[in-house]
A and B are shown apart, each in its own frame.
Chain A
């Protein structure tokens, strides 16, 4: 049995259910999905870069993605994650094919969780999850707010790489 397929198929059904129960705001409520894995690791760091790099190391070492890069922009509040070969891509592909825009990214949730847990970030928000099922790549745009004062620091994210 392909265990990854088994679990991804279960996630598809749960994501479908959540979407029907809550529609758009389902995406706001799933921020804890995936965090148990990263919380079981000893992620350390004193800065945004250190925490994110350490998380990516763990994520890749456990083969949850084959490659992953990140950048920070948008006046410091945009965390742009690029992944390839994510273990959850089949889940997202199936949802997209069935007409539901996928909204749960356990991998991004892990990193956002550690920014809150380890650096006391005020809040975070997974703003956009784009998948390319043909190339096997995903782009996730997250808002990261170190302090409440960072809220409202707007810019045009389409101009960011």
Chain B
């Protein structure tokens, strides 16, 4: 049996240096770069090869503004309530400077944190066709999004996976209306969009990640000894 595996580059550096980018330069994304990102999306793993993803590429500033406004509304409506319940303050208690903490909290509960889609040169809405018998639509779409993020990062772009604005059922319906997506109960699932652009902030991941020892078990749940 021939077990020869073609030589490929290790993409761990791409994976570990990627972070969510929410600030972009206004420069446009050339079509050939955008096409490569869309091509990466097309090759995501998918249950039984159903490929339920449909991608809507948005460049129109007016549409992006509507999406940004919806995002602000969705995040702000939840975060205002979380702040009023004291939950947001607990989440950001590691920020020692009270002035800085108050600024960050206001940025969150006002919803401004999610408005950045307006500034992104391109938004890609990822939706799933529910009508072709697909069995794993949300998982397939998530894999598709990850491919988009990694390809964008490998090409020097910044991107952010944004779910919040379509997270509530009513907001998802508003999102569908903005993009003229059919709204029948059994037609399309809206899962998220990705904001894309040339980064105006660092792309290297600065946030700590859990150690492998904390998240990996061997052979059975809870077993830490390597097998």
Contacts and interface: CB of A to CB of B under 8 A. Distances in A.
B126 interface: no
Given A29-B167, A31-B168, A154-B109, A123 B73 contact: yes
Interface stretch (A41-49, A64-72, A89-97, A141-149): A141-149
Q: Chain B's interface: helix, strand, loop or mixed, by majority?
A: helix
Interface residues of A, number: 29
Interface string B73-90: 110111011111110000
Given A29-B167, A154-B109, A123 B77 contact: yes
Interface string A124-157: 1101100000000000010101001001111111
Interface residues of B, number: 25
A107 interface: no
A155 B109 contact: no
B167 A151 contact: no
Contacts of B110: 151-152
A123 B85 contact: no
A145 to B, nearest CB: 6
Given A77-B80, A143-B77, A152-B110, A25 B163 contact: yes
Contacts of B109: 151-152, 154
A123 B111 contact: no
A143 B168 contact: no
A29 B138 CA distance: 14
Contacts of A17: none
B85 A153 contact: no
A40 interface: no
Interface of B: 69, 72-74, 76-78, 80-86, 106, 109-111, 138, 163, 167-171
Which 10 pairs between the two chains have the least Cβ-Cβ distance?
A127-B81, A151-B76, A143-B81, A157-B84, A152-B110, A28-B167, A28-B168, A154-B83, A123-B77, A125-B77
Given A125-B77, A141-B81, A152-B111, 16 more contacts: A25-B167, A28-B168, A29-B167, A77-B84, A78-B84, A123-B73, A123-B171, A125-B81, A127-B81, A127-B82, A127-B84, A151-B111, A152-B76, A154-B84, A155-B84, A158-B85
